[in-house]
């Protein structure tokens, strides 16, 4: 893997002085075009052996280009862990926005490699982590992120010489850390794990580029040229085409589906409702105040057709919880900061800390519901959405989050009844808009999208709870009971 990075690449100072200004100018121009287009972000992962020029390259890129549109992010291992969020959370939150360049010094590779190298993670776990990384990077590529992965290499011999030289200079000896010395001692092991990582994660969308780091001139020009080529190809070429999607799932031939085969007669008599609700609320109240929840968190997703009763159910739920515990996030149109990021970014930002809950009134499922039906994204985008969502929820579950998803299911007739009622009651009138009527016309399309969604995203760690909601009382009590059951089972 590192063979050609150890043959002693070298560029003379004279050649560097001749070529550097041209490269610099071209990079600046590319950066300017990127900024003008505001079409995609560039993300550079700077990884590799310590002392092989990672920091220097980051500084050089900042020097060559306009630093105001470069975001350099440095990550420490375990950045996300202490907050109780998924391991990838710090990276998710720090992605560069469209038109910008992000440089990640330390990335999602750091922790898997170092944990594998020091023996803290097993081979199988390591393999799973690399697979997850591949999926994540494919998602970034599909979202338009130009991902450049640079690996700076240094042979063991070169590394030893470097540390010796630095240590001898009193003005530079601060550069040598105990970690450097430890890495040198375990050089072979690190090299082996790194090589495996690079092989396993060099994909078509995001291949690794290995750079010999021993000569500053060589590595600077090489890294710069790689960045330039990647940016120019994307800026001047056609938009990237991702692999074609599998055909969308076909509707069932007999017309029966998850939703229309549901029993909508389920109801709770008004006389028994208050008592049952109070009982379920008391259970939720006790469980969400349980000490064991301090190391866990809760994410509840509410989806449903218009007028299915999401808002009123959420209110019954929140009333049972301490206001310090939960946070309701209603999903509306994205802001411009959100639009400049991958699709899931606007949900990542709302993930709860341990000991807290986020309740989403509509959610990331918009991708495979409204965006699919209304054609707001391409077929490929929503088709890949299922898998991306499953990975997202899996990561939440792994970090200790209890994920609950409710589909409040009403019939088309019930919706019509509720729409008419809303038009009549003055203070509910704002709740009904021409758009609601337009959406209603697409009921069969939505129904199909909902069934596909439930089938493809109901997972062990984050199952869908489809709740018949023609009777609001039944739906509310059922949601509260389901949540209480889940908390009891998981705590």
Which positions touch its own copies (CB under 8 A)?
21, 24-25, 28-29, 32, 54-55, 58-59, 62-63, 66-69, 72-76, 105-106, 171-172, 174-175, 278-279, 282, 285-286, 289, 311, 314-315, 318-319, 322-328, 330, 332, 335-337, 361, 426-427, 430-431
Tell me the closest approach of the beta carbon of residue 74 to its own copies, in angstroms.
4
Cβ–Cβ < 8 Å for 364, 299: no
Closest to its own copies by CB, 64 or 382: 64
Tell me the closest approach of the beta carbon of residue 286 to its own copies, in angstroms.
5
Closest to its own copies by CB, 2 or 273: 273
Tell me the closest approach of the beta carbon of residue 183 to its own copies, in angstroms.
16
Dihedrals φ, ψ of 75, to 5°? Answer: -115, 145
Closest to its own copies by CB, 263 or 336: 336
Tell me the closest approach of the beta carbon of residue 72 to its own copies, in angstroms.
6
Residue in this structure with the two tokens 């760690």, named with its chain if needed: 461
Tell me which residue of 251, 126, 238 sits closest to 193, measured CA to CA. 126
Closest to its own copies by CB, 462 or 475: 475
Measured CA angle at 319 (ends 314, 320), to 5 deg: 105
Closest to its own copies by CB, 71 or 456: 71
Closest to its own copies by CB, 3 or 63: 63
Tell me the closest approach of the beta carbon of residue 228 to its own copies, in angstroms.
13
Q: Which two tokens stand for residue 13?
A: 């100072």
Closest to its own copies by CB, 131 or 274: 274
Per-residue b/e over 233-250, b at no fewer than 16 CB within 10 Å? ebbeeeeeebeeeeeeee
Closest to its own copies by CB, 259 or 299: 299
Tell me the closest approach of the beta carbon of residue 327 to its own copies, in angstroms.
7
Tell me the closest approach of the beta carbon of residue 36 to its own copies, in angstroms.
10
Tell me which residue of 215, 99, 91 sits closest to 153, measured CA to CA. 215
């Amino acid at each position: 893997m590192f063979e050609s990075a150890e043959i002693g690449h070298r560029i003379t100072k004279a050649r560097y002085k001749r070529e550097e200004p041209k490269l610099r100018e071209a990079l600046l121009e590319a950066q300017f075009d990127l900024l003008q287009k505001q079409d995609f972000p560039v993300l550079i992962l700077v990884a590799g052996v310590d002392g092989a020029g990672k920091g220097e390259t980051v500084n050089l890129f900042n020097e060559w280009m306009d630093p105001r549109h470069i975001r350099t992010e440095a990550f420490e291992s375990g950045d996300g862990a202490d907050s109780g969020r998924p391991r990838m959370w710090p990276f998710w939150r720090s992605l560069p926005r469209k038109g910008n360049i992000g440089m990640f010094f330390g990335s999602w590779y750091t922790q898997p490699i170092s944990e594998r190298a020091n023996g803290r993670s097993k081979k199988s776990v390591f393999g799973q982590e690399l697979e997850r990384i591949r999926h994540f990077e494919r998602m970034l590529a599909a979202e338009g992120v130009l991902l450049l992965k640079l690996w700076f290499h240094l042979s063991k011999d070169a590394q030893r010489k470097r540390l010796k030289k630095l240590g001898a200079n009193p003005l530079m000896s601060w550069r040598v850390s105990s970690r450097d010395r430890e890495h040198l001692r375990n050089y072979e092991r690190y090299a082996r794990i790194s090589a495996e990582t690079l092989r396993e994660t060099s994909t078509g969308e995001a291949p690794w580029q290995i750079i010999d780091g021993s000569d500053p001139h060589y590595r600077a020009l090489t890294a710069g040229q790689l960045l330039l080529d990647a940016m120019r190809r994307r800026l001047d070429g056609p938009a990237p085409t991702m692999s074609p999607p599998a055909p969308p799932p076909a509707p069932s031939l007999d017309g029966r589906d998850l939703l229309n085969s549901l029993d909508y007669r389920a109801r709770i008599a008004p006389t028994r409702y208050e008592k049952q609700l109070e009982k379920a609320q008391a259970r939720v109240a006790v469980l969400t105040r349980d000490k064991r929840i301090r190391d866990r968190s809760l994410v509840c997703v509410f989806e449903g057709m218009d007028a299915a009763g999401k808002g009123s159910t959420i209110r019954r739920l929140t009333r049972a919880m301490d206001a310090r515990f939960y946070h309701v996030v209603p999903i509306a149109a994205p802001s411009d900061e959100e639009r400049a990021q991958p699709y899931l970014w606007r949900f990542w930002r709302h993930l709860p800390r341990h000991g807290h809950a986020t309740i989403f009134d509509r959610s990331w499922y918009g991708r495979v519901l409204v965006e699919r039906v209304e054609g707001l994204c391409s077929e490929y985008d929503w088709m890949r959405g299922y898998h991306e969502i499953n990975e997202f929820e899996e990561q939440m579950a792994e970090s200790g989050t209890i994920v609950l998803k409710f589909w409040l299911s009403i019939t088309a007739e019930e919706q019509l009844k509720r729409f008419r009622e809303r038009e009549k009651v003055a203070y509910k009138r704002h709740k009904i808009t021409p758009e609601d009527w337009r959406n209603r016309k697409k009921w069969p399309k939505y129904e199909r999208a909902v069934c596909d969604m439930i089938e493809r995203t109901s997972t062990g760690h984050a199952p869908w709870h489809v709740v018949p909601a023609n009777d609001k009382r039944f739906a509310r009590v059922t949601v509260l009971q389901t949540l209480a059951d889940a908390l009891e089972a998981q705590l």
